[in-house]
Amino acid sequence: MSVEQIAPLITAALSADKAEMEAAQNQLNAAKALPDYATSLLSILLRQDAPLAARQMAGVLLKQFVEGSWSECPHTASKEMVKGNILPGLGDDLSKVRSSVAAIISEIAVIDFPENWTALFDQLLQMMESGNSNQIHGVMKVLDELSNDITDNQVYTVAPVLFPRLVTLFQTEQFDPSTRARVLSIFGTFVTLISHMDTVDSNANQNLLFPILPGLVETTVALIAKPIAAKEEYKLVTECVNFLGKLVQTFPKQMGDQVSAALPILWQMMTTNANNHISEVVNNPNYCDEEADSDGSEIGFGTLVQSIFEFIAALTERKKYKAMIRKVLPDVVYYLITYLSIPEYQIEYWDADPEKYVEDDDEDSMNYTVRTGAMELLIELATELKTSYVEALISAITRHISGSGPINEGYTWKLYEACATAMNISGEMVEECIQAGKIDFNFGAFYNTVVLPGLQTDKPYLLGRLIWMTSSYVKRLPSEESLTTLLECLCKSLKPGTAAPIMIGAMKGVYAICAELESDEERKVLHKTMELIIPSLFELAGNMEGDLLMLCLDCLRVCVSVRPDIVALEADKVNTFLVELFVKHASDTFIVSQVNEVLITLADIPDCRGSIQSNVVPVLLQILRTPIPTSPKKQSEEDEEDMRTEVMDLLTVFVRKTPSPLPDVYVNDVFPAVMAMTLGCVKDSTAILQSGGECVRAFLAQGFPQIATLTFNGLNGMDHTLQLVAKLLDPEVAEWGALYAGRLVSSLINHAGTGLNINDILQAVLNKLTKCESPSIQQGLLVVFIKLFNHDLEGSMTFLQSITTPSGDNGLVYVLKSWCEIQELFTGEYETKVAVIALTKFLPHIMNPESPLASLMVCDDEIAIDGGRITRSAKQQQQPNMIPITVKIFKILVAEFGNIIEEKEAEALGDISDDDDEEGDAEEDEEEAQVLSIAQLAAYLGDDDDEDDDNKDDPLSEVDLHSHLQQFLTQMTTHALYNDLCQALTDNERQILGSMLVAEGYNANNRTFS
């Protein structure tokens, strides 16, 4: 399709006439297969006499073509023509065209560079030398995108040529701030990449970065020190601060002193602009959001302040600089409170949409403002500086309040709200310091000076904040009268018609007060108040949506736990209301989850269970039984699966919380419906398979005799359960569908015992194990065998030796190899414990020279995790490192004992005190890449144990693993092969074992204990 043919289509695609627009788009889509489609679009994009809208549309279409069709496009000549003619577009007079061209070049480069576009890099370098500011601006856009896709190997070629040119460009004042800012962005990407290369090339930083960084940092600090004369300079200064922050985090030892020179400059910038922020932003009703550059990034003081906050946070995280921050901490906190002030434009925005207030006014908010940035930094300072921070906070608030005017005049109420916000987000640390006797804080004086005057105002945002903040300090209230005042405020603020900020503060306050008063005795003061609060919350929930509804439901949940009897009296009404909310918001998984949490809380109340069975369960059953196309609130197949998963998860909890024997509705209606849903789902419905399997396991735990005798669809409950097990273990079924299959098999064996054809089930478990790559799923399947080993080691070993994997490997050998390979990745206290105990049984058995397993070799390479899959360390030899299984098990047991010691020491040590931290300020820890401990790696993978109810009755769960391992390893010292085993240990493993034996009084010379 020629340019003459495609140009009218582009014009039509921009038409306001919907029919004309859609017709043009359809023709353009059809034209993608034509040889000259891409070249025609490029011609229009680069034609300077064409309308800008048409050029932009051509750029969008060409970029979409590259993203979706470039790799498969057979028209090689056309693609080469595009690559040969597009680069001059980087010098176009229009910034928007340059951006479009740069984006297209970057997309092509991701696919073709360097193999199929070898000249690109040299061409870009030549354009950098041209001196044409437009071309250089365009080249920087390409390099900024391209730097994210540079590989480790390419860096060695690119960096020596590119870096000097970039430094020269950055240090040349004639280039515009946007281009110079882009240079720092590119360097920031390379800093991250090269610093990560240090693990495989210890000289990478020294050779590639350190020679150019000092000059670069010097220029960066000088730029920060210059007054900002124009709006576009904010982008450059902001990028300078971001770059320095990255250097502090990445190279604190090498670059820290030079980078920290910027702190006084940034400090002055932050303090001198605080008053301007109040007058120009906070109190300015006509303030508009900051402008955006050509990339859509905001530029202005707010964005710069965010970068300064992040820079201070980066310094605070480094022990070397904590003393520097601590010296100015009272002033830092003072000005951060100023930046917490609510701007007028934000009030207008929140008044129009109260849900946004809930979303935005949270330290975890994803919507950045100066206020949320100040919150984040205050939390960071509290975490890192503890007592010093709390002392600075109290000093700063005292200073603010003592210097303020009457609370009802002008800005003062916002200052009070900011102080209350700072107290709010610091509550945990303040309370910790008070309890430890580290600070002397008179909350009563604060209450009388700040809270009481604030409660007399008509400022909704101040009232809401004070109610919430005071509730979180309920134990520090000065008198019974102040508690009465607070409770009255809570009740009054939860009535329909109350201003949204006050109502939101009250709901958060109720939640906070319930969290603070933990014991039944403490909560007695709330009993009378809850008679008003709980009905009010239910009334409010019926008229709320979104985040407001979620907040209300969360508040309801904690209130129900305080006065369950109130809800029990109206159980039918309450459960009907909740299940109606469930159906109404079925496509919103967040709200459904909150409704579920309330229902789960009600399921703990014996007087509510009957109502749940008659009002909630029938509705949930209807959802499970409804064909997918007509299911309520149907949005998509994924939403439908999520909804049914939520239903089964909720039913699982109901079954678990219902005493045996189970009511008929669960046995006769719910169990068959869950079975039908799980057995009938497609093989890749992992969520349904997981939830259905867990629900069936709950039925086995709570009502096995009833399920075993239940008959439906011509089969009994056990037959259906075996069908489900077979499906979960089917090698063709999605791997993650078997996440909890091991638990179901163990539960089935535990309850049915000899009534099962256990051999076939275990063979299926073994077959599934051979197909799984995720350590989490492998663990679940291995635990089936591990439990059997603990129950009957000889019998289980004999059975596994009698079966083989689908590829013909001996079953026992395969299980042992797989087990030893991932034992260090086991998660869950119970699973780890039973595995370690089983290994202590195995080791003496296979250390017998006559054991056929004594000569078994297993892999001992370091393990890495890639997307949930196990991979070998990048540093391993080409051939895996194989060691005897006896050595591997011994190393595992020593390492597990080390993990237990680490956990005990961490519990005993707790948080490092401020005094300890201050003493260490002069010393900088080695900030090189650290190796994760096994325990840390397990934490990274996650812990799915969640105190599984089925394990509570297992005697092994009561074993003290520390004592068990200590006793076992001590006994091992008398074994003839003990010294041989010790020879294979690493230095760290020897240290763990040696420390334990010294504590036990072991004499290494004569192998005796004193």
In sequence order, what DSSP letters do the residues of 82-110 get, joined into one string?
HHHHSGGGGG-S-HHHHHHHHHHHHHHHH
Pairing of strands 869-872, 715-716: unpaired
Task: Name the burial class of residue 78, with classes exposed (0-12), middle (13-18) and buried (19+) by CB atoms within 10 angstroms of its CB.
Answer: middle
Distance from C-alpha of 918 to C-alpha of 922, rounded to nearest angstrom: 8
pLDDT score at 682: 85
666-to-509, 669, 702, 724 alpha-carbon distances in Å: 38, 6, 11, 18
Task: Read off the tokens for 262.
Answer: 């910027």
pLDDT the model gives residue 928? 38
Q: In angstroms, rounded to a whole number, what is the distance separating the alpha carbons of residues 835 and 780? A: 11
Measure the CA–CA gap between 9 and 2, rounded to whole angstroms: 11
| Residues in contact with 716: Cβ distance below 8 Å, sequence separation at least 6, in sequence order | 708, 709, 710
The H or E element spanning position 551 is: helix 546-562
Q: Are strands 1008-1009 and 1002-1003 parallel, antiparallel or unpaired?
A: antiparallel
- How far is Cα 301 from Cα 313, in angstroms, rounded to an integer? 18
Amino acid at 67: E
Residue 927, pLDDT score: 38
Residue 946 region by backbone torsions, left for phi larger than 0, else alpha for psi between -120 and 50, else beta:
left
- For the record, the structure tokens of 853 come out as 């397993």
What is the pLDDT, as a whole number, of residue 913? 46
Q: Is-contact 816 782, C-beta < 8 A?
A: no
Please state, in angstroms and rounded to a whole number, the distance separating the CA atoms of residues 435 and 445: 18
Q: Is the dihedral of CA 633, 635, 638, 639 positive or negative?
A: negative
Q: How far apart are CA 414 and CA 459, in angstroms?
A: 9
d(CA 730, CA 749) in angstroms, rounded, equals: 18
Q: How many Å is the maximal CA-CA distance in the chain?
A: 97
pTM for the model stands at 0.81
Q: Which residues pair with 810 in a beta bridge?
A: 804
Residue 65 near residue 31 (C-beta atoms within 8 A): no
Cα dihedral 219, 220, 225, 226 in deg (nearest 10): 70
Minimal CA–CA distance to 388: which of 924, 877, 921?
921
If you write DSSP's letter for every residue of 731-797 in order, what string do you get? TTS-GGGGTTHHHHHHHHHHHHGGGS-HHHHHHHHHHHHHH---HHHHHHHHHHHHHHHHH-HHHHH
Which residues have CB under 8 Å from 9's CB, separation 6+?
24, 27, 28, 31
Q: How far apart are CA 824 and CA 746, in angstroms?
A: 22
ω into 661 cis (within 30 of 0): yes
Structure confidence at residue 291 (pLDDT): 64
**Count of all residues that appear for the chain in the document:** 1010
What are the residues facing 292 on neighbouring strands? 298
Rounded (10°) angle between helices 758-771 and 793-801: 70
Distance CA 280, CA 299 (A): 16
The ranges of the chain with pLDDT < 50 are 629-636, 864-877, 911-945, 1009-1010
Question: What is d(CA 53, CA 15) in angstroms, rounded to the nearest whole number?
Answer: 11
Q: What is the DSSP string of 859-911?
A: E---EEEETTEEEE-TTS-SS--EEEHHHHHHHHHHHHHHHHHHHHHHHHH-S
Residue 796: how many other CB atoms lie within 10 Å: 20
* φ/ψ bin of 31: left (φ > 0), alpha (ψ from -120 to 50), beta (otherwise): alpha
Residue 922 three-state SS: coil
CB 178 within 8 A of CB 293: yes
- From the CB of residue 868, how many other CB atoms can be counted at a distance below 10 Å? 14
What local confidence, expressed as pLDDT, does residue 759 receive? 92
- Cis peptide preceding 354, ω within 30 of 0: no
